[in-house]
Amino acid sequence: MSENYRTEYIMDELACPKCGHKHILKKYGTVNVTEKKKMKEKILKNELFAFRCEECGLHAPLTYDCLYVDHKKKLMIYLAPVMTGEVQERLDSLGAVKGGTKRLVDNINDLKEKIMIADNHLDDRVIELLKIMVINQIKEEMKDDNLVDILFDYSPGNLWFILFFEKKGMGRIPLSLENYRQIERQYRMGILDFSRDDFMKVDLEWAGRIMFRPN
Ligand SMILES: [Zn+2]
């Protein structure tokens, strides 16, 4: 991976959607966390991709195009809330650099999840496959409720999935490394077959193509 991906931002003016107060804020085109370590914490704490109004107190997420780079982990994640021709061009030119892990996400929660998975030295492809197993396990619970999202999370020594249900709210299911390794082994070939060296969107849909592919 090239050393050229430096942290860069532009100053942008934004009016508060609630009170109209005008703000000047930094919008990052690239965040390089090897160069600026604190930026990772800022993303994880919802401080970077956020808008805070000093006038009325509104605090809201602010999503825009950004390339996240972690040289040490050879990881690049592109956050693109909306896919456009311009974004695709940038991805194509970034993807020309071979090697490393390249991912595409469309929201901040998914970006944070990918960062946390990498911090735990895990593979997001295996994590997405595991999510499908979890969803199968909780089919009973989903009979009169809807699963809105399922995300990886952790605290030191503990890994789990956080589940967000429409009616029941939040739930948590532990993730065992034994289970992780078993899925990693079981789907090793599928994972290889469905992986490309460009900005891949690795999500439930991606994992579903592996898990339910015809033999
Ligand atoms: Zn305001």
User: What are the tens digits of pLDDT across the range 156-202?
Assistant: 999 999 999 999 999 999 999 999 999 999 999 999 999 999 999 99
What is the model's pLDDT at position 97? 82
Task: Give dist(CA 6, CA 101) in Å, integer.
Answer: 18
Ligand 1 centre from 42 Cα, in Å? 22
Ligand 1 centre from 56 Cα, in Å? 4
Ligand 1 centre from 19 Cα, in Å? 4
CA separation (Å) from 195 to 80, 100, 105, 118, 129?
A: 20, 12, 16, 17, 13
Between 96 and 91, the more confident residue is 91
Q: Name the pLDDT band for 203 (thresholds 50, 70, 90).
A: very high
- Residue from 185, 183, 141 nearest 166 by CA: 141
Q: Name the pLDDT band for 2 (thresholds 50, 70, 90).
A: low
Q: Name the pLDDT band for 98 (thresholds 50, 70, 90).
A: confident
| Ligand 1 is an ion; residues with CB less than 5 A from it | 16, 18-19, 21, 53, 55-56, 58
Ligand 1 centre from 60 Cα, in Å? 10
User: What are the tens digits of pLDDT across the range 55-92?
Assistant: 999 999 999 999 999 999 999 999 999 999 999 999 99
CA separation (Å) from 154 to 116, 179, 180?
A: 8, 16, 14
Ligand 1 centre from 24 Cα, in Å? 13
Structure tokens given for 78: 């592109």
Ligand 1 centre from 21 Cα, in Å? 5
Task: Give dist(CA 199, CA 80) in Å, integer.
Answer: 11
User: What are the tens digits of pLDDT across the range 118-128?
Assistant: 999 999 999 99
